[in-house]
Structure 1
Amino acid sequence: MALNRHERRRQARAEGRAHRSQATESATAIRLQTLRQQMSHAYHGDRFAEALAFGGAMLKLTPQDPQLLGMMALIAARLGQNEEALAHLRAERRVLDRVAGNPQSYRGLCGLLIQLGQADEAEAALTHALSKWPDEAVLNAQYATLLWDGQRLDAAARHAEAAVAHAPGDAEIWRLLGAISLSRGDPARAAEAYGQAATLAPDGDDIAHVQGVSLLASGRPQEALEVCDAWLARRPVDIEVLALKGHALQEAGRIEEARRLFDFDRFVTGRTIGVPEEYPDLDAFNAALEAHVMAHPTLLTPPEGDPKYHHPALKISADLLADAPGPVAALEREMRRAVDDYFAALGEDAGHPFVAQRPARYKLYAWAAVLDRQGNQHQHIHKDGYLSGCYYLRVPQEVSAADNGAGGDIAGGFEVGRPPDEYGCRQPQMTRQYRPQEGLMLLFPAYFYHRTIPFTSSQRRICIAFDVMPA
């Protein structure tokens, strides 16, 4: 039956609306594609503000796109606009929780929430995601990391175990399990996990050290030594592994071999520096250094959890040699003179990794360490260095007194040789203590664990520590 005039008009109007709608959708799609390309080019060109603007234009056209919301959050975070980043992340999560979604989207969402310090929101999102995808390895690994950071170690271990069960070929997840196991006092499981990681990625950063530590803490020093020797055959001056080897040798009862690595008489040297020509005497030089250090804009107490944090009374500076003004320039000359003399005195010893690999050219990095009337520094090594040193410019009278240490430890003294607790050493370890004096410069291998012994005083203890690094 033929359409009457009224019906034909209605159909024409409907067809017009459909055509206009299709045209609008087509124009919107083209506009989105153009904006997406512009956003991508700006982002990969490190023009993050431009990328954020292009993304904002896209959001007006498609406000419920979770992928776009996640990208906007990432860019805002790169710009330091954390509140905007969180707003986009929360919008993304509302969309993801409402639709089917995919685990990859939650990985990015949760990772950025953790990065922005929103642990509770990240945990809620991870819990929701894992209720959908309980076998998703990366989500389990993210949750394990979050729980580990919160010291919920048993729960962290369960999720790390779930992660490796579903991604047995992922070396990083095995490393995560190893670290969590070591933290919760299970070095045997840590050794297994690190062993798997080493098999999958034998050149992984510091893998020999963490695997060796877990073996040593498990009471298996000979296996730890095998790991150390295999690694040192390729990287003979790995500072962390050299340190570990020396302590593993002592645990294995191979004392003479350990003594060759930890030869304090040979490798720890000290001397009173010469007075720089710009100063009338050592007291004047030290006073100038003290004034420079105490006024340095970077001198502060690191936050707890920072590897440089040791004690609330300890302040540490950034590199004092970056500009080397005034007294620090004079001290650098004394440092280099001492280092050159040290290397010359080592002689030749092709069989000793520290002696044989000494650098022909080196650079220095120096920082101040100020203990204000009390405190300590836990045992540590300088893994970026080759040779380490410290210069004492202000020492409390109680610390430098000749009778300090007569009844035991030298309070405020410098000790080498004591390993960290995580090594789990059961046998006595070789140690030696030195009494600081104003004007004294000590040099020692960077692989020697060292610490400042606790003390109390009415005066500051100030030293300038430095590392000698191959240039």
Structure 2
Amino acid sequence: MAGNPVLERARALIDTGRLDEAYALTAPLAQAAEPEHRALALHATILKGLKRREDALVYDRKAVERFPTSGVAWHNLGATLGDLGRGRESAAAVEKAFALGIDSPLTWGVMARARLATGELDAAEAAYREALRRAPGNEATAAEFANILWMRHGDMDAAMAVLDRAFHGGGNPAPLVLAKAKLLDAAGRNDQAADLLSRAAERLAHDHQILLAACQAVLEAGRLAEAERLVLAADTAQPNNPGVMNQMAIVYLALGRPDVALARVRHGLSIQPENQSLWGWAATAARAVGDPLHAELYDYDAMVGTYEIDAPDGWASREAFLADLATSLEGLHQYAEHPTNQSLRHGSQTMHLLTGSDDPAIRAFFQALEVPIRAHMAKLGQGTDPLRRRHTGDYRIQGAWSVRLRSGGFHKDHFHPEGWLSSAFYVETPAEALGRGGKEGWLRLGQPPFRTDPPLSPERWIRPEPGRLVLFPSYMWHGTEPFTTDEHRMTIAFDVVPA
């Protein structure tokens, strides 16, 4: 950004995470009558960092209108459209960037994600290969591609080979090791993942992300003493890091010291009071010690809502709408295996933002959410607790995806640290499993995913029904009970954040 001191200052603020201040600097420049190309690009970057992608799109479009022969402007537009799940438009913008001489690995990565969104998986694989041919050591692209190969083909060797080539191409070993461990875990080879990360922690002892990942892996393998040693090493490397405080809580809950766990997350919250992951573990530790904070954070009756979606305009009945919605979603579930970095097991997940879809049934679904989301916000009301104090009276949907579980499928217990409200909407449910009288396929709430001493079991279950929407705090543990019948269970999930 040389040549404009305001833009240079904004760039420096972005690099230190001070996005609101950077926004204040670039907004007048980007909103000028004849804005500079760089002002538009940087302002859009800031907006995307603030999760305001639709607003960023306005400035990316303005850039291509003012500078139609700029390949960079078309790249930026394609990237933002891709972030919004608008695959066809993203691919078209990238094609214009290519035609204008852009041939960067980043642009090929944007094209790969655009092709994933349009369901052109062979073309997506080809684009990933082009990106890595131009930047063989790019760890993020390699990890993305390895994940796609695993999901599409279930080929662990091919996925691992991509990561190995990135390492030999000069890639940073730490993120590549993390990607390998996720692949191993996704394939059910948890002990191998723990051993890999344990070895990496010895060689990369300065990297607190490796230390934390190794800590979690050995904890899940039952190696508690090693887990404590690793988290203390991470604390030495990054004292007062909220992520380390979070991991310390996990370890000390497993070691039967929930009082220490609660103290650690309270300390983390004094540094980052809106950290949703810390609130999730604070509730867990509070439950283990009998602290009233748990009841405040897990007021199921007040904070969890179940709603039935009405048939949108254009459909005679809810059943007809759900049938069309199921057909539309089925076409998106092209993967054989679950992602390496998500909670589901034995199923598939869509890999682009569904709110960007131009499919009529999918678009109608998101329009139908207005009434139940507003009703749930009204049910919550205002307050000073960590959930209600974020209540602004307005909202936006930040992420949206579909999951299709097959026989034996389930979600591991998890929460969504980037959300405010999270959800489960049931498109199709396993009727035979639900008719058995147990809780196969049910949503469960309140059970942490890792060992605790004392053990903490689920506190609430909700039966899935086609057309049913469940909304709950994003910091609340949720998972599903496995079902064993030869059926499938299809859902849409999304996160809501205050606007």
Query: TM over 0.5, yes or no?
Result: yes
CA deviation after TM superposition for structure 1 residue 419, in Å: 0.9
Q: Is the counterpart of residue 387 in structure 1 residue 439 in structure 2?
A: no
CA deviation after TM superposition for structure 1 residue 359, in Å: 4.4
Following the alignment from structure 1 to structure 2, what is the Cα–Cα distance between the partners of residues 155 and 291?
A: 41
- Within 5 Å, which residues of 2 pair with 1:415-426? 415-420=444-449, 422-426=450-454
Q: Which of 169, 184, 191 is equivalent to 2:228?
A: 191
CA deviation after TM superposition for structure 1 residue 467, in Å: 1.0
Q: Is the counterpart of residue 237 in structure 1 residue 289 in structure 2?
A: no
CA deviation after TM superposition for structure 1 residue 381, in Å: 1.6
Q: What is the aligned partner in structure 2 of residue 293 from structure 1? A: 329
Q: Which of 245, 248, 258 is equivalent to 2:285?
A: 248
CA deviation after TM superposition for structure 1 residue 306, in Å: 0.4
Following the alignment from structure 2 to structure 1, what is the Cα–Cα distance between the partners of residues 294 and 277?
A: 15
Following the alignment from structure 2 to structure 1, what is the Cα–Cα distance between the partners of residues 289 and 239?
A: 25
For the Cα contact (< 8 Å) 1:144–1:160, is it kept in 2?
no
Q: Is the counterpart of residue 446 in structure 1 residue 446 in structure 2?
A: no
Q: What is the aligned partner in structure 1 of residue 298 from structure 2? A: 262
Q: What is the aligned partner in structure 1 of residue 463 from structure 2? A: 435
Q: What is the aligned partner in structure 1 of residue 32 from structure 2? A: none
Task: Report the CA distance shift for 1:224/1:46 in structure 2 as closer, same or farther (over 3 A).
Answer: farther
Secondary structure, aligned partner of 2:319? helix
Q: What is the aligned partner in structure 2 of residue 118 from structure 1? A: 164
Q: What is the aligned partner in structure 2 of residue 358 from structure 1? A: 391
CA deviation after TM superposition for structure 1 residue 147, in Å: 9.3
For the Cα contact (< 8 Å) 1:161–1:177, is it kept in 2?
no
Letter paired with 1:356:
R
Secondary structure, aligned partner of 1:329? helix
Secondary structure, aligned partner of 1:466? strand
Secondary structure, aligned partner of 2:306? strand
Q: Which of 438, 441, 451 is equivalent to 1:412?
A: 441
Secondary structure, aligned partner of 1:451? strand
For the Cα contact (< 8 Å) 2:200–2:210, is it kept in 1?
no
CA deviation after TM superposition for structure 1 residue 464, in Å: 1.3
Q: Is the counterpart of residue 277 in structure 1 residue 310 in structure 2?
A: no
CA deviation after TM superposition for structure 1 residue 251, in Å: 1.9
Q: What is the aligned partner in structure 2 of residue 215 from structure 1? A: 252
CA deviation after TM superposition for structure 1 residue 211, in Å: 2.2
Identity among equivalent positions (%) equals 23
Following the alignment from structure 2 to structure 1, what is the Cα–Cα distance between the partners of residues 228 and 247?
A: 8
Letter paired with 1:331:
F
Secondary structure, aligned partner of 2:259? helix
CA deviation after TM superposition for structure 1 residue 334, in Å: 2.2
Compute the TM-score of the two structures, normalised by the length of structure 2. Answer: 0.59
Secondary structure, aligned partner of 1:306? coil
Q: What is the aligned partner in structure 2 of residue 369 from structure 1? A: 403
Following the alignment from structure 1 to structure 2, what is the Cα–Cα distance between the partners of residues 231 and 182?
A: 21
- Within 5 Å, which residues of 2 pair with 1:121-140? none
- Within 5 Å, which residues of 2 pair with 1:72-221? 79-81=131-133, 116-118=162-164, 151=192, 157=198, 160-161=201-202, 164=205, 171=208, 174-175=211-212, 178-179=215-216, 181-182=218-219, 184-202=221-239, 204=241, 206-221=243-258
Q: Is the counterpart of residue 307 in structure 1 residue 341 in structure 2?
A: yes
Following the alignment from structure 2 to structure 1, what is the Cα–Cα distance between the partners of residues 256 and 473?
A: 26
Following the alignment from structure 1 to structure 2, what is the Cα–Cα distance between the partners of residues 438 and 155?
A: 42
Task: Report the CA distance shift for 1:119/1:392 in structure 2 as closer, same or farther (over 3 A).
Answer: same
TM-superposition CA deviations, 1:337-365 (whole Å, max 9, x none): 21121112212221x11111234443212
Q: Which of 372, 397, 400 is equivalent to 1:338?
A: 372
CA deviation after TM superposition for structure 1 residue 145, in Å: 9.9
Secondary structure, aligned partner of 1:433? strand
Following the alignment from structure 1 to structure 2, what is the Cα–Cα distance between the partners of residues 263 and 318?
A: 33
TM-superposition CA deviations, 1:98-127 (whole Å, max 9, x none): xxxxxxxxxxxxxxxx884338997xx9xx
For the Cα contact (< 8 Å) 1:301–1:309, is it kept in 2?
no
Following the alignment from structure 2 to structure 1, what is the Cα–Cα distance between the partners of residues 316 and 260?
A: 57
CA deviation after TM superposition for structure 1 residue 162, in Å: 6.2
Task: Report the CA distance shift for 1:301/1:424 in structure 2 as closer, same or farther (over 3 A).
Answer: farther
Task: Report the CA distance shift for 1:153/1:428 in structure 2 as closer, same or farther (over 3 A).
Answer: closer
Larger radius of gyration: 1
Task: Report the CA distance shift for 1:458/1:342 in structure 2 as closer, same or farther (over 3 A).
Answer: same
Letter paired with 1:411:
E
TM-superposition CA deviations, 1:382-426 (whole Å, max 9, x none): 22221011221222333554xx54xxx411111111111x34342
User: Structure 2: any 5+ residue segments left out of the alignment?
Assistant: 1-100, 106-127, 138-159
For the Cα contact (< 8 Å) 1:300–1:317, is it kept in 2?
no
For the Cα contact (< 8 Å) 1:187–1:215, is it kept in 2?
no
Following the alignment from structure 1 to structure 2, what is the Cα–Cα distance between the partners of residues 437 and 141?
A: 40
Letter paired with 1:80:
L
For the Cα contact (< 8 Å) 2:410–2:483, is it kept in 1?
yes
Following the alignment from structure 2 to structure 1, what is the Cα–Cα distance between the partners of residues 358 and 439?
A: 32
Letter paired with 1:469:
V
CA deviation after TM superposition for structure 1 residue 142, in Å: 9.3
